[in-house]
Amino acid sequence: MVIRPLLLILLLAAHCFAGDIFELCIIRKSGNHLPHPSAVESVLKYLASSTSIDPPPEAVELDLSGEIFDYPFLCLTGKGSLPDFTRKETELLAKHLSSGGLLFIDETENYGLDDFYRSVKDFSAGIFPAAALEKIPPDDVIFRSFYLQPKAAGRNAVSPSLYGVRLDGRWAIVYSRNDIFGAWARDESGRFIYSCYPGGEAQRLEAVKITVNIVMYSLTGTYKKDIIHRDFIERKLRSW
Amino acid sequence: MIEDLVLVFFALLVFLTIRFRGSFYRFAALAVVFFLIANPAIRKKSEAPPPVLALCLDTSSSMAVKEGGMSRIDRAKEVIRRELPELRKRFSLSFYTFDSGFRQMAEEDFFRAGASGGASLISRVCAEITASLPDGGAMLLLSDGRDTAPEPSYFSKPLHSAGFGRVIENDMSVKVLEYPEKVFQGAVSKLRLRLERSGERSQARVTISRAGGKIAEKTLVFGEGESVKDIDMEFVPDEPGENIRYRVELHPTDARPGNNSDFFSVSVFKSLIKVLFISGRPGWEYSNLRALIKSDKRIDLTSFVILRNPSDYVPFPDNKLSLIPFPVREIFLNDISHYDLVILLNFDYTKFISPDYLSPLLRHIRAGGALMLIGGENLFSNGNYFKSPLGESLPFRERHGGVFSEDKFFLRASPGHPVTSFISSISELGDVPLKGMSPAAGTAPDAETVLETAEGLPVAAVCGAGKGRIMVLLTNSLWRLFFAGAETSYFYQEFFKNSFAWLTRSPLLDEMSVSGRKNYKIGEELLLRIQLRNAGRSGVTVRHDSPAGPAYLSPVMLSPGLFMVKQRIAEAGRHSLRIAVSGERGVRADKNFIFTAADTGIEDENTSASHSHLRDISRLSLGKYLGSDSFRAADIPSPDGDSVLYRPAMKNYYLLFTALFLLWLWFKENTQ
């Protein structure tokens, strides 16, 4: 029993990058765990070119196992509703997120229903019964971790808000209903696959911003709430 | 006594059985019983030598106090000179003087003795003198009753006493018994005081103050009959600094203002340490370490993360970004000395500043600051820090041409360093693979390795730099420990907390803290409290090097990890205590505690006589308190006075005769 997790850790160590560099980890749960494969590449490229995060160019895809403990940032995408998680998988996720990890859930299609939202609500309640899924307030630090006050936009505009589960004062789960990855998806010639509705390209830019902010938030936490930033940020906001 | 009563009872029984009413027998039986009960005595001429009386004169310094133009000791000698002829008639006299010890001497020396001794250990000395006297001997104590160390004693011969000196009314004194060695600014700290009083005054106000003013106050009330009171008093140190002197005062002052105050010195540490944390880029090490630091209320964190490199392109106007300019000039040239600890994580300073900017940081460290360098691909790239002013002070040496290694390694912690001594035994530590190591050629000669790989390569090392300390951690992958499991997460948190404490010389990491006074007077009791950080399987030894020579003291364990050392101080001068804490691997920590004992006795502070103490001693020894200095030799009872009296009713032959007589009576009455 003890040897098995250790073996997993050893296996993992062979894959993961050295040091503390950001790596995007997609959880492989259902057959359609990555509806927009090109989007991930776009995100990572953008992070590398416009921030100091400099992630490796490819994301890691993992089943829910002990290996996730080498990847503090987990990503779960899907449509319709979330797949069922076993008790062991739920416990693993709970441990990971309690240890400081972050799970980003992107709803890629809602078909005009709230099934996915309800399944996320049930899923988060299963992981953290004491914490509820709630709207992330617009003045939260996640909306200023790199870009100032981006909208919670994506390919769609299902909800103007991000949702999250708060744990020890930080967001352990961040959930978007607007298909953020869809806004990033490109075809082989580099053009965006989907148009953003209803806001068009302006909405896509907001999706870019909020993506960076979510990743930056996972790496810096409440950094932008520090006193030293407050005046600068307030001054900039006033200049708009 | 029991035998006598049994005999009397038996006689009465016999008497009651006499049926014959003849007055002669009845009278005879009554006479025998009466004689037994009355037990008359006949004074008998004895050829034995007169009993010994030891004249014991207190020569402690309080006997030099002059009252009415004459010192107490001179007054005692005068009384003895006056009564000497009468005493000689009744006793065989021997002469003693005493203070912290006793001396037998000739009569001339007795009358020449001066009051120059420091302490007067009355109880102890009297017990020793009475034990040395022959049977039938007694002692006459001539003292003011100021016992430096009153203690329960057994007096084997009667001790008569005469008191000299005036009892001062309404005097109160204060003395600091215990205080902490190190405290935190703003944290409630405790000290123990002893207050003594004589006379009627029962209420006082105690204040603690330092140069800036009063910081604590307490009112206390003595109960009826209470003369000594030990109290705990709390104070909150306001300013940090080494050996800050605090004054304890009694209000209002009284007959002896000299004993109305005392002082103590403690080192006050900042309760809030200021940490500057600069990270070369966002990363998991930063994220975890920041969360850990932010959870510690004792740390005031200023943090900068380089979120965008100069080469990065952001397709949005600047006012849409939350980024602020990195105030590198202000930080490194102006503000660096405000921080108790500077953490540079994977920060390649060469992208932002010239090496000269690190000179103020080095000066700050040498003046008592602290630096933690944490590795990554940017730390030591191209040997950057080694070529900076910090280079010579780092605990690692440069590996020329070295690059960031991505090899996997396992970690081992040093059991010998305070940072890791309590967490090195976490076995799970060696199961978590880590990756990423900045290049270094090895540790500097004066450096100490704190973390190393399973193969023995140093991963983290520390060294001193002037008054400050530096730690270099070659890897930025320790965050994996935080995620790997509860035990390794604990290691991660404790490692960094301990590192911060060690770097900033916080007392939190002291293996032991010792609290006690550093100035005593002869005769006072040394009180030393030893608190260990880790109570498990620890032994404490205390070696006392006094002017009289070395000796080992026995610490008493009050609770796990808390020990108390008590020792009566008998020699003036510099005393040194070497306290060693030993664990499974031998001596884990040691510390020197130095204190001085002044040449004067504690009684110099309050010279009021204490005749009640003499009265108590005489009563306990079955002797007589003769009152003040106007006593007469005739007042002294003869030692063992009963021995010159002859009591025929208690002699064996009389008892035998009585038994036979009563037996005959009974036989006569019951056989006729």
B26 in the same domain as B57: no
DSSP string, B210-229: ETTEEEEEEEEEPPTT--EE
- Read off the pLDDT of residues A82-95 as tens digits, 9 standing for 90 and up: 888 999 999 999 99
B624 in the same domain as B592: no
Q: How far is CA B457 from CA A14, B376, B396, B417, B442, in A?
A: 20, 17, 12, 16, 8
Report which DSSP code applies to B141. E
Domain residue ranges of chain A, discontinuous segments joined by +: 21-238
Residue to mutate among B275, B299, B307, B309, with most A CBs inside 10 A, is B307
B436 in the same domain as B316: yes
pLDDT of B644 > 70? The answer is no
pLDDT of B261 > 90? The answer is no
Give the confidence band of B12 by pLDDT, cuts at 50, 70, 90.
low
Quote the pTM value.
0.72
- Read off the pLDDT of residues B220-243 as tens digits, 9 standing for 90 and up: 888 876 777 889 999 999 888 888
- Among residues A189, A169, A190, A163, the alpha carbon closest in space to that of A180 is found at A163
Nearest to B320 among A21, A148, A223 (CB): A148
Task: Give the residues across from B551 on adjacent strands.
Answer: B544
3-state SS, one letter per residue, for B355-419: HHHHHHHHHHHHCCCEEEEECCCCCCHHHCHHHCCCHHHCCEECCCCCCCEEEEECEEECCCCCC
Instruction: Count the neighbouring beta carbons within 10 Å of the beta carbon of residue A190.
Output: 8
Return the residue of B nearest to A22 by Cα: B283
B503 in the same domain as B408: yes
Q: What's the rounded mean pLDDT across residues B158-167? A: 87
Q: Tell me which of A86-100, B102-116, B451-465, B587-601 is least confident.
A: B587-601
Give the confidence band of B457 by pLDDT, cuts at 50, 70, 90.
very high
Q: Tell me which of A73-77, B194-198, B337-341, B470-474 is least confident.
A: B194-198
Residue B224 in domain: yes
Residue B45 in domain: no
pLDDT at residue number A218: 96
Residue A198: cis peptide before it, omega within 30 degrees of 0: yes
pLDDT at residue number B21: 55
Cross-chain residue pair B313–A50, CB shorter than 8 Å: yes
pLDDT of B119 > 80? The answer is no
B549 in the same domain as B654: no
B294 in the same domain as B239: no
The nearest CA of chain A is from the CA of B259 a distance in Å of 52
pLDDT at residue number B493: 96
Q: What's the rounded mean pLDDT across residues B315-323? A: 90
Give the confidence band of A9 by pLDDT, cuts at 50, 70, 90.
very low
- In angstroms, the CA A22 to CA A113 distance is 34
Return the residue of B nearest to A16 by Cα: B435
- Read off the pLDDT of residues A93-115 as tens digits, 9 standing for 90 and up: 999 999 999 999 999 887 778 89
Residues 6+ apart with CB under 8 A from B409: B433, B434, B435, B437, B453, B454, B455, B457, B459
DSSP string, B529-545: EEEES--TT-EEEEEEE
Q: What's the rounded mean pLDDT across residues A227-238? A: 88
Q: How many domains does chain B have?
A: 5
B464 in the same domain as B475: yes
The percentage of residues in chain B with a pLDDT greater than 90, rounded to a whole number, is 39
- Among residues A128, A203, A206, A208, the alpha carbon closest in space to that of A165 is found at A128
Q: Tell me which of B319-328, B413-422, B658-667 is least confident.
A: B658-667
pLDDT at residue number A8: 40
CATH number of the domain enclosing B620: 3.40.50.410
pLDDT of B360 > 60? The answer is yes
Q: Are B384 and B348 in contact (CB under 8 A)?
A: yes
Give the confidence band of B290 by pLDDT, cuts at 50, 70, 90.
very high
Give the confidence band of B66 by pLDDT, cuts at 50, 70, 90.
confident
pLDDT at residue number A3: 41
**Residue A20 touches partner B, C-beta closer than 8 Å:** yes
B318 in the same domain as B404: yes
Residue A100: its chain B contacts at CB < 8 A?
Answer: 287-288, 291, 482-483
Structural domain for B568, as ranges: 510-608
pLDDT at residue number B593: 92
In the listed set B581, B608, B635, which residue is the last one of a domain according to the structure? B608
B319 in the same domain as B393: yes
**Residue B322 touches partner A, C-beta closer than 8 Å:** yes
Give the confidence band of B145 by pLDDT, cuts at 50, 70, 90.
confident
Q: What's the rounded mean pLDDT across residues B42-47? A: 64
B403 in the same domain as B310: yes
Residue B222 in domain: yes
Residue B47 in domain: no
In the listed set B448, B473, B508, which residue is the last one of a domain according to the structure? B508
B462 in the same domain as B415: yes
pLDDT at residue number B10: 63
**Residue A4 touches partner B, C-beta closer than 8 Å:** no
A21-238 maps to which CATH number? 3.40.50.12140
The nearest CA of chain B is from the CA of A80 a distance in Å of 32
CATH number of the domain enclosing B541: 2.60.40.10
Return the residue of A nearest to B312 by Cα: A50
Residue B46 in domain: no
**Which strand ranges, in their side-by-side order, compose the sheet holding B138-143?**
B102-105, B92-98, B52-58, B138-143, B159-163
Q: What's the rounded mean pLDDT across residues B516-544? A: 83
Amino acid at B361: L
Residue B123 in domain: yes
Q: Tell me which of A3-7, B69-73, B527-531 is least confident.
A: A3-7
Give the confidence band of B49 by pLDDT, cuts at 50, 70, 90.
confident
- Among residues B462, B371, B469, B346, the alpha carbon closest in space to that of B413 is found at B462
B470 in the same domain as B416: yes
Residues 6+ apart with CB under 8 A from A185: A36, A38, A39, A42, A155, A192, A193, A194
pLDDT at residue number A41: 93
Mean pLDDT of all residues in chain B? Answer: 85
Q: What's the rounded mean pLDDT across residues B484-489? A: 91
- How is residue A76 written in tokens? 């779960």
Cross-chain residue pair A10–B433, CB shorter than 8 Å: yes
